[in-house]
Amino acid sequence: MTSIVFYYGVISFFIRKELISYVLKFIFSFFVGVIGGILFEKIKIPKIIFYLIIGILFGGGCLNLIYPSLDVISDYLRQIALIIILTRSGLALDFKSLIKIGRPAILMCFLSASFEIIGIIIFGPLLFNISYLEATLLGCVLGAVSPAIVVPRMLTMIENKEGGDIPKVIMAVASCDDIYVIVIFYACLNALKTSSFNFFSILKIPSSIILGVLLGLLIGIGLINLYKCFKLNSTIKVTIMLGVSFLMVWLESYEKTYVIISALLGIIVMSIILSSKNSDLNDVKQSYNHLWSAFEILLFVLVGTRVKLNLVFSFEGLKIFILILIGLSFRTIDVILSVMKNKYNLKEIIFFVVSYLPKVYCSSINWGDCFKGSLRLW
């Protein structure tokens, strides 16, 4: 008995020691990302490229320096990063600007993603041995624009007063596009798991959007009154906003069988309400900027760790690349049609098209559910 306890203690010690080693390597990769990002900015290269390279090198595909079990933590870190970036997006918008940019924003938000998903539904089964429902899921995976790439660049343009209303249109669409795709994804995933697609599943899409907007409105109004009644510093305000955001995400994940609430849309609406009715939020915006500076590194390093180079440079990887190009072609057609009637010149239309190309994974979708639902492409 004593020997069993002894060996258990020794094994536990080395497991703990190994875990500490991987955590230290993860911290090391974070600091390498910080230094490399600064150097890349100096030579006018986007720093997120360096973060992705670090993730690829340090991940399981190459050096395997980042502990595989951190995948569980990384899902939560990516979700936090998305909450931060969507809140920043909402705080930079207000009702007046949204009304002004309404038509092209609405058209591109829903129709562009739908066009891309339709393109993948048509060509996905031809390239891969999958059903149309599985192709719809794949379309949701590939169809979402990355707010983590688009939103920070648009915020910089807004701060520098560049591009007029164009950055606000792009930022609003990039934020809502991801949410729209997530709602469709979960409706289709539920149909795939139950092997049936009923009318109730379709109704979940508009109902989740409406419930998300209402939830965001109620919480936003509540926070406005709270901030008026109590004089709170920026740290407390940010803590409350983050806490409420996590609560909304938890509420969304609590029950998905009968009611789906778009928590991410609620977070954006909450932020827009606060931005429209409360002008004293500069300190809160700065705090969120600082939070994003740290989570941007974590996000893209972790995304890089998921890249498997042997799959990227395989025949299957080539087929995925072709499918992505097809989907982007469908999206491009809709983007051009959506902005043509708004008196934008050729350069501005090209800027719209290019702004909706980024496809880095950053959302609250648990893509592992795809594989549980038997969607296997590799």
Q: Which domains does the chain have, with CATH numbers?
A: 72-372 (1.20.1530.20)
Give mean pLDDT, residues 172-195.
Answer: 77
Report d(CA 3, CA 1) in Å as an integer. 5
- Lowest-confidence segment of 191-200, 238-247, 288-297, 339-348 by average pLDDT: 191-200
pTM of the model: 0.80
- Both tokens of 149, joined, read 């790439």
How far CA 281 is from CA of 78, 99, 292, in Å, comes to 25, 22, 17
Q: pLDDT tens across 275-290, in order?
A: 887 667 888 888 898 8
Backbone angles phi, psi at 272, to 5 degrees: -65, -40
CA distances from 269 to 80, 88, 168, 262 (A): 17, 11, 15, 11
Average pLDDT of the chain is 78
Residue 195 pLDDT more than 70? no
A 10 A CB-CB count for 369 gives: 16
Q: What is the pLDDT of residues 77-107, one digit of tens each?
A: 788 888 998 898 888 886 676 676 666 677 7
Return the minimum-mean-pLDDT range out of 125-134, 167-176, 350-359: 167-176
Phi, psi for residue 260 in degrees, rounded to 5: -115, 125
Query: Could you tell me how far CA 61 lies from the centroid of its own chain?
Result: 23
The helix, strand and coil proportions of the chain, stated in percent and rounded to the nearest 5, come to: 80, 0, 20
Amino acid at 226: L
